[in-house]
Amino acid sequence: MTEQLSMFGREPSRELSPGAVLLPQFALADEAGLLAGVRAVTEQAAFRHMQTPGGFRMSVAMSNCGALGWVTDRAGYRYEARDPETGDLWPPMPTSLRELARLAAAHAGYEGFDPDACLVNRYEPGARMTLHQDKNERDFDAPIVSVSLGLPATFLFGGLARSDRPVRVALTHGDVVVWGGPSRLRFHGVMPLAEGEHPRLGRIRVNLTFRKAG
Ligand code: MD3
Ligand code: FE
């Protein structure tokens, strides 16, 4: 089953750097289930543009599912059990999403990955994410699993210092990357999204990141 999924697009997995494994089109085996899950989540917890601690509006719109959700506002970056817009718990992580993350992690050598948070990012043309590290999670031993959907993006994969020159990686619809081990704390970002129209998603890119946050 794992082999079948990884070979969905006839492309083998590729190690981008120690601990970082690209699984091309891995998410397409259950594309319909995945898109239905994302829709269910964002119907309950609408995409919104959060504020950085410095007071800037993020160009990426975000939602979350799972026991914990990543939030930012003037008080800082953190994980919260409730959606600050509604006061409700974040929607549960759909089984189709959880299983995809578990299977991808196992395929990359991380057995038993049990994410409690999934951040859902929505990019419109022009939206970007500046270089940063993901370090609000309690445990850096667990990997982060990312799933790209919709319009293609140029991902920037840096080093352990902000000043390390990033490598560009093209990420397209259905690509999954598992970021663990020595790659877990590398700086990364996303170049401004180019204009385009995706046959199923339209004029957007959606990125899911599964995390062990708590
Ligand atoms: C490399 N999202 O939400 S996913 C983020 O495409 C984030 O929306 C980007 O960075 C996006 O925090 C990139 C790829 C990714 C995610 C986490 C990483 C790459 C990573 C953690 C460590 C190293
Ligand atoms: Fe990140």
Cα 25 to ligand 2 centre (Å): 20
Instruction: Report which bound ligand comes closest to the CA of 185.
Output: 1
Ion ligand 2: residues, Cβ under 5 Å: 134
**Whether the CB of 183 sits within 6 Å of ligand 1:** yes
Strand order in the sheet with 61-65: 14-17, 20-23, 176-179, 144-150, 205-211, 117-123, 61-65
Nearest CA to 188 out of 210, 157, 151 is that of: 157
- Looking at residue 107, its amino acid is H
For the chain of 214 residues, list the mean pLDDT of each consecutive stretch of 10: 53 95 98 98 98 98 99 98 98 98 98 98 99 97 98 98 98 98 98 98 99 98
Q: What is the pLDDT of residue 9?
A: 57
Closest-approaching ligand to the CA atom of 186: 1
**Which tokens go with 54?**
């410095």
- How far, in Å, CA of 115 to CA of 122, rounded? 20
Q: How far apart, in whole angstroms, are the C-alpha atoms of residue 140 and residue 176? A: 19
- Dihedral, CA of residue 59, residue 65, residue 66 and residue 72, to nearest 10: 30
As a three-state string, the secondary structure of 160-194 is: CCCCCCCEEEEECCCCEEEECHHHCCCCEEECCCC
pTM of the full structure: 0.96
How many residues are recorded in the chain? 214
SS3 at position 10: coil
Q: Which of 177, 207, 212 to mutate for ligand 1's pocket (most ligand atoms within 8 Å of CB)?
A: 207
Strands 188-190 and 61-65: unpaired
Report the pLDDT value the prediction gives residue 11, as an integer from 0 to 100: 84
The preferred substitution site among 121, 179, 188, 204 for testing ligand 1, maximizing ligand atoms within 8 Å of CB, is 188
Distance 143 CA to ligand 2 centre (A): 12
Which of 121, 133, 173 should be mutated for ligand 1, with most atoms under 8 A from CB? 121
pLDDT of residue 184: 98
Q: Which domains does the chain have, with CATH numbers?
A: 2-211 (2.60.120.590)
Q: Which atom of ligand 1 lies at the shortest distance from residue 132's CA?
A: 10
